[in-house]
Amino acid sequence: MSEKAVVIEAPGGAEQLKLMDVEVGAPGPGEIRIRHEACGLNYIDVYHRNGTYALPLPARLGMEGAGIVEAVGEGVAHLKVGDRAAYASNPPGAYATARVMPAKCVLRLPDAIDFETAAAMMLKGLTVQYLLRKTLPQGGLQPGDFVLFHAAAGGVGLIACQWARALGLQLIGTAGSDEKCQLALDNGATHAINYRRDKDFAAKVREITGGRGVKVVYDSVGADTWEGSLNSLTPFGLLASFGGASGPVPPFSVSTLAAKGSIYVTRPTLFTHIATREATQAMGDELFEMVASGQVSIRIDKRYALADAAQSHRDLEARQLLGSAVLLP
């Protein structure tokens, strides 16, 4: 059956994203075919497009989607034809009207969650789940503890603000404008720093925490925030470096970690956490509960036609989006 998918033939700028006719066959063992109602936009799609994370070419893009299960391959027991479903998953290919994909990371979608919300939250929400619930400093986090979360008004960031509020944490959010800082505060951040204006955000963090620093920094900005993140931590604190929207973290000497107070650094990825179906289901159930109960609401800032995927990438890279965005087939 001929379908439409966004394809790149070479790595590069947003102009590389082309909507093409593609063949979508029948699912093999362990696979399903899903017809998308909505697809999610994520910063990892930019890394795939520009070659930061190299893909075999030509390549399809997109790691997050929601829709209806159209066909089920042999050995898939948890999904059936007609199910409403959503996922964050490898391999890329979500920017499409329909696709065949591994069933392992595809979850049945509760009726309380609509397709656009699901497409806007699966990759980002599962990421927040593993960050705030599993990527923890020694002794864990207790209500009242301070955490620092960069890009707090972005897709991942706005979910993190709300989830942190539900956990009783004091989340200090950074963001690139006063409007974004206000949005982070409206969504549960207890403090916000405009790090484009207040470049020494670590000094602000010290002020807010009475000089102590935070127990954990969640840093997806990378190059621009690395040094300040190190300087924001309390002794034995944890720096969780989970992305590089401003560029990769510069090489560093391990002895820096001693000098900054015996601190820990980790570089986690969602894909380790969702390596098994059981783990994905458990994380997904927690995310669905947070959203269905209203503790986390998903802000969809913009909706783009699949044919306008290039514009969605331009807006994301220009830091113009607040919260999540979706592509509609």
SS3 state of residue 261: coil
Q: Based on CB atoms, which residue is closest to ligand NAP, 72 or 159?
A: 159
Q: Which of 5, 6, 19, 44 binds ligand NAP (CB under 6 A)?
A: 44
Q: Does 180 bind ligand NAP (CB under 6 A)?
A: yes
For residues 108 to 137, the per-residue mask of contacts with ligand NAP, x marking binding by CB under 6 A and - elsewhere, is ---------------xx--x----------
Q: Based on CB atoms, which residue is closest to ligand NAP, 246 or 281?
A: 246
Query: Contact 244/222 with Cβ under 8 angstroms?
Result: yes
Give me the amino acid identity at 127: T
Q: Which of 3, 114, 186, 224 binds ligand NAP (CB under 6 A)?
A: 224
Whole-angstrom distance, CA of residue 245 vs CA of residue 176: 12
Q: Please compute Rg for the chain using Cα positions.
A: 20
Query: Contact 163/187 with Cβ under 8 angstroms?
Result: no
Please report how close the Cβ of residue 294 comes to ligand NAP at its closest, in angstroms.
Answer: 21
Give me the amino acid identity at 99: R
Instruction: List, in sequence order, the alpha helices (H) in the chain.
Output: 43-50, 115-134, 155-166, 178-186, 201-208, 226-230, 255-259, 270-273, 277-292, 309-317
Q: Does 176 bind ligand NAP (CB under 6 A)?
A: yes
The residue with its CB nearest to ligand NAP is 154
Q: Does 189 bind ligand NAP (CB under 6 A)?
A: no
Residues in the chain, how many?
A: 329
For residues 47 to 86, the per-residue mask of contacts with ligand NAP, x marking binding by CB under 6 A and - elsewhere, is ----------------------------------------
Please report how close the Cβ of residue 226 comes to ligand NAP at its closest, in angstroms.
Answer: 12
Which residues make Cβ contacts (< 8 Å) with residue 255, sequence separation at least 6?
none
Whole-angstrom distance, CA of residue 66 vs CA of residue 68: 7
Class of residue 253 by CB neighbours under 10 A (exposed 0-12, middle 13-18, buried 19+): exposed
For residues 134 to 163, the per-residue mask of contacts with ligand NAP, x marking binding by CB under 6 A and - elsewhere, is -----------------x-xxxxx------
Q: Which of 246, 281, 295, 311 binds ligand NAP (CB under 6 A)?
A: 246
Q: Based on CB atoms, which residue is closest to ligand NAP, 153 or 214?
A: 153
Residues that bind ligand NAP (CB under 6 A): 42-44, 123-124, 127, 151, 153-157, 175-176, 180, 220-221, 224, 242-243, 245-246, 268-270, 316-317, 319, 321
